[in-house]
């Protein structure tokens, strides 16, 4: 048998026994070296900032010198209980979620049902519906600010041409939040449509054929076949929708800036103002952790509700 020199052998086949054993292909520990870069990245840019922000929430750090930041315990959380602006922002986030998530799911499902039909040029329409998803929030916001302008916007111009009263869409506290919701639904409908399409195309066509033979109509097939088999998709979109709605920031920051009169001041926007305008990093960290707890609680509640419904349907 021909022997290889030291330089011709791979580096993991040289050295002491423990080194060769560690680099052996049969040793699963070798796999940890492949995930080491990702692990280090997550540790430095996710775990460490999370732990650091948790510590900051118990300090009065004003963004100047971290080493001199006084430790104040739970004072930030106690102050939060009486912060009316924060609770107004949380109420706005809840209102935004209640409007955006159900309406967005229903509208995108209707689009997906049409896009699931065998129509000429359906792929082109799918692409057009998905284009807003990949567009920048800043660019989309500027476009909608122009469209909804109370003086020169095309929306009010159309209403005026039809003899209808014009609306100060983004300047009236009553219409500002619904306007943001409609913009969000328009931008995110394409993504939800793709998820709905994946769920619709996973349903066997034989079920619809059998239902048609039994005399079921389109509405009965939709109610008895489509919706029940779309439960996993509905569950996924509901959870991601609630999480995304509580984290909304870009549209609020660019379009309304939290106004008018705090009508669109949502939780993340309030945290941003406290952190990067007031430089109250300690209090902003406390608000961020409270928001995380709220999102986590809503997610657990949704998971519990869906599991309970599935268990009830088995009996």
Give every CB contact of residue 33 below 8 A, 6+ residues apart in sequence: none
pLDDT digits 0-9 by tens, 50-68? 999 999 999 998 877 767 7
- Cβ-count burial of 40 within 10 angstroms (0-12 exposed, 13-18 middle, 19+ buried)? exposed
User: 20 is written with which tokens?
Assistant: 């060769």
Q: What are phi and psi of 280, to 5 degrees?
A: -95, 75
pLDDT at site 145: 94
Cα–Cα distance between 247 and 189 in angstroms, integer? 17
Query: Does residue 249 contact residue 269 with C-beta atoms inside 8 Å?
Result: yes
Helix, strand or coil, per DSSP, at residue 106: helix
Q: How many residues does the chain have?
A: 315
278 vs 22 pLDDT, higher one: 278
Mark out the alpha helices in the chain (DSSP H runs).
17-22, 30-42, 48-56, 75-81, 84-115, 122-134, 137-147, 154-161, 173-201, 205-213, 218-221, 227-229, 231-246, 250-251, 267-276, 281-313
Q: How many CA atoms lie within 13 A of 4 on its CB side?
A: 8
Structural domains of the chain sorted by starting position, each given as residue range(s) with its CATH number in brackets: 85-313 (1.10.3720.10)
Q: How confident is the model at residue 2 (pLDDT cuts 50, 70, 90)?
A: very low
Q: Residue 305 in contact with residue 282, Cβ under 8 Å?
A: no
Q: Tell me the pLDDT band of 216, cut-offs 50, 70 and 90.
A: confident
pLDDT tens-place string over residues 252-289? 999 999 989 999 999 999 999 999 998 999 999 999 99
pTM here is 0.85
Q: How many CB atoms are located within 10 Å of the residue 39 CB?
A: 12
């Amino acid at each position: 048998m021909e022997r290889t020199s030291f330089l011709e052998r791979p580096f993991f086949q040289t050295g002491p026994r423990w080194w060769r054993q560690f680099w052996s292909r049969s040793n699963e520990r070798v796999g940890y070296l492949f995930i080491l870069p990702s692990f280090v990245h997550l540790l430095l840019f996710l775990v460490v900032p999370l732990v650091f922000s948790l510590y900051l929430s118990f300090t009065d750090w004003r963004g100047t010198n971290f080493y001199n930041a006084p430790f104040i315990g739970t004072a930030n959380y106690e102050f939060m209980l009486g912060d009316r602006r924060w609770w107004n922002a949380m109420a706005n986030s809840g209102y935004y979620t209640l409007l955006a998530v159900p309406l967005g799911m229903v509208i995108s499902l209707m689009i997906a049902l049409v896009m699931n039909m065998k129509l000429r040029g359906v792929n082109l329409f799918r692409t057009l519906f998905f284009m807003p998803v990949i567009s920048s929030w800043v660019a989309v916001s500027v476009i909608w600010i122009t469209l909804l302008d109370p003086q020169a916007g095309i929306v009010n111009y159309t209403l005026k041409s039809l003899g209808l009263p014009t609306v100060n869409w983004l300047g009236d506290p009553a219409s500002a939040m619904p306007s943001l919701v409609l913009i969000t639904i328009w931008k995110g409908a394409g993504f939800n449509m793709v998820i709905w399409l994946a769920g619709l195309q996973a349903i066997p066509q034989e079920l619809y054929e059998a239902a048609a033979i039994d005399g079921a109509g389109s509405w009965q097939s939709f109610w008895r076949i489509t919706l029940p088999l779309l439960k996993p998709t509905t569950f996924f979109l509901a959870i991601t929708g609630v999480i995304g709605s509580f984290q909304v920031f870009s549209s609020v920051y660019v379009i309304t800036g939290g106004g008018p009169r705090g009508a669109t001041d949502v939780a993340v926007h309030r945290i941003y103002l406290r952190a990067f305008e007031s430089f109250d990093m300690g209090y902003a960290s406390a608000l961020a952790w409270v928001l995380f707890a709220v999102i986590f609680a809503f997610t657990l509640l949704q998971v519990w509700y869906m599991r309970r419904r599935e268990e009830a349907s088995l009996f």
